[in-house]
Every structure is written in structure tokens, then in C-alpha cells.
Amino acid sequence: MEKNQSKSHSHSHHHTHHGDVKNIKVAFFLNFSFAIIEIIGGFLTNSVAILSDAVHDLGDSLSLGLAWYFQKYSRKKSDNIYTYGYRRFSLVGALANSLVLIVGSILILTEAIPRIFNPQQAHPQGMMLLAVLGVAVNGFAMLRLRKGKSLNEKVVSLHLMEDVLGWIAVLIGAVIMYFWDVPVIDPILSLLIAGYVLFNVFKNMRELFRILLQGAPQEINSEHIQAEILKIDSVKDIHDVHLWSVDGIYNVMTIHVILDEKKSMEELSYMKKDIRNRLINKGIEHVTLEFETEDEECVLDDCSNPDLQVE
């Protein structure tokens, strides 16, 4: 049995995790600082919409802080308790952020729907100034996180996307209200934004639960992987194939390879290297192999047989 992790991939993952922690840290401080500015601006402009968004941004700051903590925690190396390392802790941050986004969007809906029937006026000039600043600050943080690869970064990027769209809606609404008396525009745009955010949250949660339930990574075709291994000389068959992802980036595979004849240790070493290289090129970083001959009984294979009963 052989376990392998490519040094080059380990090096790239080190930089990936370092980058995602830094990105989320920057997003946290930007979001929290701007939430304070929003609170002050909301009172100065007498805008309930901006004050509501300030409360929402404070909630975002909390979830961003959690994401920062869990993403940093996920960089810890493996130990006797978490033998694959702490990478999966980043998923805890992604789940917490998703839940906050859902609650935040529902709060937006409960605030926006009554305003459709009872619109409220505010100070449009001050709203426009804050909206431009909001788009700039949150847009910068969002673009930085969109380049990230971790699921945590993607979910946090959704937070910031929600804020950017929210401020664009405030800007459009403020411009319209400046020239025309149609305050109902603002809650209508809020409903559209909340619907968009909820759609993307549930899409990300599907991916999150796929990882937690150890489903095969969507970007890797298991059948193509198996066909690639079967092309190797002396490989007669394969079975007990398991493919999953630890955190949406670091992919793991275990496989039993049946040989047409017994091989020397030197020949097996060469085959292991060949299989590893093929799988690494397919995006699988950690590979566990077990070689068998045709006449060898595989206990694991027998145990997976649903017709096998233990007396």
C-alpha cells in the first residue's frame, strides 16, 4: 500500500491557503470599517435603508470573522485526531457564512416587501455618495476573493457580491428619487437582489454538502480516471475505487489494482510512480494504492457485497 502527496502540489497548496486567509482578512477589515461608516451615514441621511444595510454589514463582518478564523485554522497540519489535516474546517466557515446569508436575505425580504406598499423618502444626495463609496470598497474586496479557489472564499465573495449589488440598487434608487418621486424602486430592487443571492447560496450549499458527504469532485470524471489506469500494461482490472475531496481543492483517491501476474518490488515501484503521475495530472493530489493478483482474495471487496451475511 502506498500513500503519496506531490511536493509541488503541497507547495502550491501552501500558497493557496496563505492567499485565501489574507484575502478573507482584508475583506473582514474592509467590511467592518465600512459598516461603521454606514451607521454614521445612515443617521446623517435619515435613510432607514442605509441603516438596515449597516446592520446587515455588521452581520457580514461577524461571518467574515468566522471565515477568517476557520480558514486560518484549516492550515494546521495533520495530527492523530485529524489525519488528513484541518483543511475541512474551512467548510465550517463556508456553512456559517451560507446560513448568515440566508438569514440576511430573509431579513431584507421582510424589510423590502412592506416598503412596496408603504414607501419611505430619504436624503438622495447623501445616499448617492455612500452608494458610490460602498460599491468601491465592497467591489475591491469581492474581486480579490473571486480569484480564490476555496469554497470558503467563494461563499465570502457572495457576501460581498450581495453588498455590491445592494449598493448599486441604492445608487440607482437614489438617482431616480433625486429626479422623480418614486421611492418604491428601492424595495423592488432589494427583492431582486435577495432572490439572486439566495439562488447562489443554495447552489454553493449543494457543493458544500457534496464535499461533506464525500461525493466525487464535480470537475473530475471517475470513469475517465479508471479508463486511464486500465491502459497501463499488466493492469487487468481495478475495483474498490473511492474518490472524494477534503475541502473542495485537495482531492483524494484510494484504489485496488489487479495485476495479471506477480511483480517484483522494483516493478511495482515503477507502476506506482506511473499511476501517481497520471492521477496528479487529473487533479488528484493524494493517492493510496493497493496491488493484488487475480487469485488473491480481497476482503474489502467481499465485505462490500450486499449478499454477504455474517452469522
Choose the CATH number for 222-303 among 1.10.645.10, 3.30.720.200, 3.30.70.1350, 3.40.50.300.
3.30.70.1350
d(CA 59, CA 57): 5
- Ranges of each domain in the chain: 7-212, 222-303
221 secondary structure, DSSP code: -
Q: Is the pLDDT of residue 307 over 60?
A: no
CA 205 from centre of chain: 9
* Residue in 223, 241, 228, 239 with CA at minimum distance from that of residue 281: 228
Q: Is the pLDDT of residue 253 over 80?
A: yes
Per residue in 32-44, pLDDT (tens digit) is 888 888 888 878 8
Per residue in 159-214, pLDDT (tens digit) is 678 778 878 878 888 888 888 888 777 777 778 777 877 888 888 888 889 988 88
Strands of the chain, DSSP E: 2-5, 235-245, 251-259, 286-293
Choose the CATH number for 7-212 among 3.50.50.60, 1.10.10.10, 3.40.50.2300, 1.20.1510.10.
1.20.1510.10
pTM exceeds 0.75: no
Q: Which residue has the higher pLDDT, 255 or 71?
A: 255
